[in-house]
């Protein structure tokens, strides 16, 4: 399968002119969806602590909370799992910030939709759905802005040639000989080169 044809941002269009289109303000349902993990965590902790205090009392509940917290902090596997999940949640928010700052939104001010974020050895992998008016090329043009917004060393951008509205961003936080080889030839520092396809698609 060959890469789909790409259209790139016209560099002659001033950035200030693009900024005349402000990003859309999300409605309450969108806000609730974007913050669903935090809302669920706060609601769950509140309900759990309330039920525990009513059932077992304040002192046993506080003791149980201390034990659970120390277990997470002292058990490397539990601590790493908690940190990895936290970074997945943080990264989704930072990618949205990068889209706004990198002017990656449609003529209606809608940014791409973050569908899924997963932990990887190098950092996080984010799957996005591009709305009409946005494309993978916009992410390539704003690559450095995205990396800065995500507090990352670098980002690698991939496009699905079967469904060009689907874009995958690899947020690279850790580098090494065993990790960087995976991305050789798949980064796009020059917008004129276009976003690369997945390594498996290049052989088809």
Measure the CA–CA gap between 113 and 76, rounded to whole angstroms.
Answer: 33
Please give the pLDDT value at position 39.
95
Does residue 120 carry a pLDDT above 50? yes
List pLDDT tens digits, range 7-59.
Answer: 445 444 455 556 677 888 999 999 999 999 999 999 999 999 999 899 888 89
| pLDDT at position 180 | 46
Q: How far apart are CA 187 and CA 174, in angstroms?
A: 15
Residue-level pLDDT at 78: 86
Summarised one tens digit per residue, pLDDT across range 175-200 is 764 444 444 434 444 434 444 444 44
Pairing between strand 113-120 and 123-129?
antiparallel
pLDDT value for 176: 64
Does residue 70 sit within a domain?
Answer: yes
Distance CA 82, CA 85 (A): 5
Closest CA to 117 of 171, 40, 182: 171
Q: How confident is the model at residue 73 (pLDDT cuts 50, 70, 90)?
A: confident
- Domain presence at residue 156: yes
β-sheet with 154-159: strand ranges across = 113-120, 123-129, 166-172, 154-159
Handedness of CA 76, 78, 80, 83 (dihedral sign): negative
Q: What is the pLDDT of residues 163-173, one digit of tens each?
A: 889 999 999 99
Domain containing 72: what range? 15-203
Residue with tokens 């044809």: 5
5 vs 96 pLDDT, higher one: 96
CA dihedral (16, 17, 20, 23) positive or negative: negative
Q: Looking at the domain assignment, is residue 41 inside a domain?
A: yes
Contacts with 192 (C-beta within 8 Å, 6 or more apart), sequence order:
8
d(CA 112, CA 145): 16
Domain count, the chain: 1
Q: What is the pTM of this model?
A: 0.77
Domain assignment of residue 57, yes or no: yes
In a domain, 61, yes or no: yes
Residue 165 lies in a domain: yes
Give pLDDT, residue 158: 92
Specify whether the backbone of 151 is left (phi greater than 0), alpha (psi in -120 to 50) or beta. Answer: left
pLDDT value, residue 184: 44
Q: Is the residue at 42 inside a domain?
A: yes
* Rounded to 5°, angle at Cα 113 from 107 and 131: 35
Whether 9 maps to a domain, the answer reads: no
Q: What is the mean pLDDT of residues 97-105?
A: 93
What is the per-residue DSSP string for 179-197? HHGGGTTT--SSGGG-PPB
């Amino acid at each position: 399968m060959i890469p789909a044809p790409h259209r790139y941002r016209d560099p002659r269009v001033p950035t200030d002119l693009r900024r005349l289109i402000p990003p859309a303000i999300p409605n309450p349902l969108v806000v609730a969806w974007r913050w669903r993990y935090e809302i669920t965590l706060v609601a769950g902790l509140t309900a759990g602590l309330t039920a525990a205090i009513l059932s077992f009392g304040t002192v046993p509940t506080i003791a149980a909370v201390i034990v659970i917290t120390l277990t997470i902090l002292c058990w490397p596997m539990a601590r790493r799992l908690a940190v990895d999940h936290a970074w997945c949640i943080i990264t989704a928010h930072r990618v949205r910030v990068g889209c706004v700052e990198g002017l990656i939104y449609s003529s209606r001010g809608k940014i791409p939709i973050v569908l899924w974020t997963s932990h990887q050895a190098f950092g996080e992998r984010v799957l996005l759905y591009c709305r009409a008016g946005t494309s993978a090329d916009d992410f390539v043009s704003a690559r450095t802005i995205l990396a800065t917004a995500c507090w990352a060393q670098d980002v690698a951008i991939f496009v699905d040639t079967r469904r060009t509205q689907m874009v995958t961003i690899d947020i690279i936080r850790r580098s090494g000989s065993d990790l960087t080889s995976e991305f050789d030839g798949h980064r796009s520092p020059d917008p004129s080169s276009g976003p690369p396809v997945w390594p498996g698609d290049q052989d088809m």
